[in-house]
Each structure stands twice: as structure tokens, then as C-alpha cells.
Amino acid sequence: MDKFELVNRVLPQPQAAEATDEHFAPSNIALCKYWGKRDSELNLPINPSLSVSLAHLGTRTRVEPIEGPADDVWLNGLQLRADTLFAKRLSGFIDLFRQTSHQAFRIETRNNIPTAAGLASSASGFAALTLALNDSLKLGLESSALSMLARLGSGSACRSIYEGFVEWHMGHRDDGADSHAHPIDRRWEGLAIGLIKVDEGVKSVDSRSGMARTVESCHLYQSWPLQANTDLMKLHQAIESQDFTLLGSTAEQNALSMHATMIASWPPLVYWQPDSLAAMQKIWALRQQGLEIYFTMDAGPNLKLLFQQQDATEVLAHFPDLEIVLPFGS
């Protein structure tokens, strides 16, 4: 099945497109990572994953139908050429929604993720665009269907449809209709995330290619689904009992396990830079001295610190440039 067929089955008859207000979707950070696809056309994962959404940090998008053959894409107030990778990805995604029409759109999308944070915006970007298209075309889709559709733009976007803790159920159907995220009904006031920027340049190997390389060439990858499933259970337990030690240690080990599979791929895939390792060593040393901080990392050199708000002053003393997010408030 290709994604056009899948979307065709899910979408009700679209109405004539209308201009929308801005729709917001938060960025998210996985505590149990999505790494490896069982279907790369439909973005179906090999393992389930769990994330926390970053409250007010994310993407705002509005769409408006326009005359003419091509979309008009604006990012952070700047008009993009149609041949840029960003504009092509957006238009390619919108094509899924206009299978029976040639309606072009003006798309205005803005990220409020601090540029220095080294955070990917594709998850919040595709989630916000899905919400805007749902509104513009009066589709009236439920959150689980919106999550499934956002997944087709970028896998992790399916989690950005929701606030708070979110689990992406991997699903088992070949058509991927059961692979979407759900919110976890638990809050955690005082949970803090710190963004440590090591490098904000564009990464040399994107996550799609990185996952494919790992699945194809890394023998260690065989153990990854088991690791992810075990970590998922531990994270549920940690969230249920608000056990920060269990949450932080599980998230850190999960991220390092994912990076171990990347490093043991061929050709090797090392996203770390010397400063990434220096930050890890600093975190381990501080933890030994009694400061309870952990980290997680995605397919890039930047670290995300996990700590409790009560330790914020001490954490800031060691990482003065830290951008702090409280996903559930204080």
C-alpha cells in the first residue's frame, strides 16, 4: 500500500479549502526513541516510543487557498523558493490531501523553538500543518487520525499532536492504520528539560537515512526492539510513580543504546562531536557528586538534560547557557 491509498481511505470527502487561523503543535523529545522503520513509505516503526511535548515550544502554521499552480511557502516570515527542500517536503505532504483537486495553498509557518536549542522542528511542523489542513478542508478528523496522518510527514510528528507525555503505539497492520500516538494521562509538575546546544548546523546524515543504514548494517540492532520495549515499560512505571531516578536513567540508557546501534553501523554513524562527549562526561561527574541530572540525545550532537526544577539553580550554575523548558509547568 502506498501513502496516497492510505490517506484516500482515511479522508472524508474534503470540502472547498478555506483560510485558517494559526494552529500550534509542540515540539517533542523522545525518552524512548523511535529508531528503525518496518515500512519506509508509510513511516511505520519497528518499536514503540514515548515522548514528552515541550509545552509552548513548537510550530504555528496557517494555510490559505490561493489561485495558481504552485504552493507559496513562508517560513519564519521569509518566502521560500519552491525548489528548496523544505518547500518540497511541505508541498509533497499537502499532495496527500489534494488527490482529487489541484488546490494550491499559501502556507505560513513559524517556529518559536530557540534557534540556539539545536532542536528539530519537523515533528511540530508536520503536526501543525496537519491540524491546519484538517481545519481548512473541514475534515473533522479525530486526534488519532490526525496523528496517523502527521506520521506520514515525519514519524515523530505523530507524537506532536498531543501535549504532555505521549506514547506512539507502533501498530501491527501492514497499512499502518493502527500506528499512531496517544496521550498518557499523567502530569509531572517540576519536571525540567534543558537544551544544551553543541552544534546547530544541518546534520550530515538525516534520520531517515540513518535509520535505514542502522537496520541494514548493524548486528547490534537486533537487540534494539527488546531494549525499547523494556524501556517503555520502565518509563510507564516511572511516570506512574513519579520516580525521577527511574525516568532519567531509563531515558539516558535508551538514548545511549540507540547511539550504540548507530556507531556500530557500516559505514559508522557517529552524530557526537567532541563537545557532546565533554557534556556527557560533565553530567556523569556531576551525578557522581550527587546532582541528579540525566540526558537524552537524538540523531544529532546536541544534548537534552533531564532534571527536577528544584535543582534548577545548581544545574544553571554548571550550564549557564541552558534553555529550560517545563513541560507541565512548575
Helical H runs in 11-118?
A: 85-95
Compare residues 208 and 318 and give the one whose CB is closer to ligand PMV.
208
Closest distance between ligand PMV and the C-beta of residue 103, in Å?
Answer: 27
Residue 175 DSSP code: T
Which residues of the shown chain bind ligand PMV in the complex (CB under 6 A)?
A: 30, 33-35, 49, 122-123, 154-156, 207-208, 298-299
Beta bridge partners of 29: 52
Least gap, CB of 155 to ligand PMV (angstroms): 4
Nearer to ligand PMV, 33 or 110 (CB): 33
Instruction: Output 89 or 106, the one with its CB closest to ligand PMV.
Output: 89
Listed residue (210, 261, 253) closest to 232, CA to CA? 253
The residue (of 208 and 236) whose beta carbon lies closer to ligand PMV is 208
The Cα–Cα gap between 145 and 7 comes to: 10
Rounded Cα distance, 36 and 51, in Å: 16
Q: How far is the CB of 279 from ligand PMV (least distance, A)?
A: 18
Give the nearer residue to ligand PMV in terms of CB position, either 49 or 265: 49
What gap in Å lies between CA 153 and CA 157, rounded to an integer?
Answer: 7
What residue type is assigned to position 53 of the chain?
S
Least distance between ligand PMV and beta carbon 297 (Å): 8
- Cβ proximity to ligand PMV: between 85 and 316 the closer is 85
Shortest distance (Å) from residue 35 CB to ligand PMV:
6
Strand ranges of the sheet holding 303-308, from the earlier edge strand across to the other edge: 294-296, 303-308, 191-196, 323-325
Separation between Cα atoms, residue 158 and residue 144, nearest integer Å:
9
Query: Whats the size of the chain, residue-wise?
Result: 330
In the complex, what is the shortest distance from the CB of residue 256 to ligand PMV, in angstroms, rounded to a whole number?
13
